[in-house]
Amino acid sequence: MKRPTFMEGAIVAAAASVGGAVLFGALTTVFAMGPVLRLLITVIGLAYVIYLLRRSEERVGRISVLTVWTASAAMIWWLSPSLPVYLCLHVGMIWVIRSLYFHSGILSSAADLGISALALAAGVSGGLYTSSIFLGVWCFFLTQALFVAIPAVSGWRGPERTGTHVPNDRFDRAHRAAESALCKFPS
């Protein structure tokens, strides 16, 4: 699977903006704005995390990450911090997941943190300046789509991460010997 593109990120931003605006408009007719904004942040965050996990080439730990994200989101909801802190915590969780699944070094993760902070500033200022949930979410996710421009730094996580294979590795030889020994026994 190829790495996500900026155009794909723009499509995700458009979908999140439309969905967020529709959900916000429907729910604010019945509920207060504060809880609706918190719910909106959580739902859109979950949708984006699922998108990131589906687009990642890494296959390990997806269920665990989704479980930890859900538990963290529930704890943040229960603790009910102020709305700016609530939003920052959710953006931080997205940054951690993207760092784990798309970046292979500290420098690229730090660059992604910068993009996340810039996206947060763009989303909040776009939303406050225009008083539009649609434009706030659009600015946030369009800026988040820039993470694809961060170059991959290889070598930090070892051969399995960079795509190269070391055939004379002692562990690989032992693993192959154990597999062949298991194959000799009838089931």
- Weakest-pLDDT range from 36-45, 70-79, 97-106: 97-106
Task: Show the CA angle centred on residue 55, arms to residues 49 and 58, nearest 5°.
Answer: 95
Hey, where are the domains in the chain?
6-153
The rounded percent of the chain whose pLDDT value lies above 90 is 71
Question: Residue 117 and residue 100: Cα distance in Å, rounded?
Answer: 17
Q: What is the dihedral of CA 106, 108, 112, 117, to 10 degrees?
A: 60
Q: What confidence category does residue 166 fall into, taking pLDDT thresholds of 50, 70 and 90?
A: low
- Please give the average per-residue pLDDT across 135-146, as a whole number: 95
What is the Cα Rg of the chain in Å? 20
- Please give the average per-residue pLDDT across 59-66, as a whole number: 90
145: three-class secondary structure by DSSP: helix
* pLDDT tens sequence across 86-121: 999 999 999 999 999 998 889 999 999 999 999 999
106-130 and 83-102 helices, crossing angle to 10°: 140
For the entire predicted model, the pTM comes to: 0.78
17 close to 138: Cβ distance less than 8 angstroms: yes
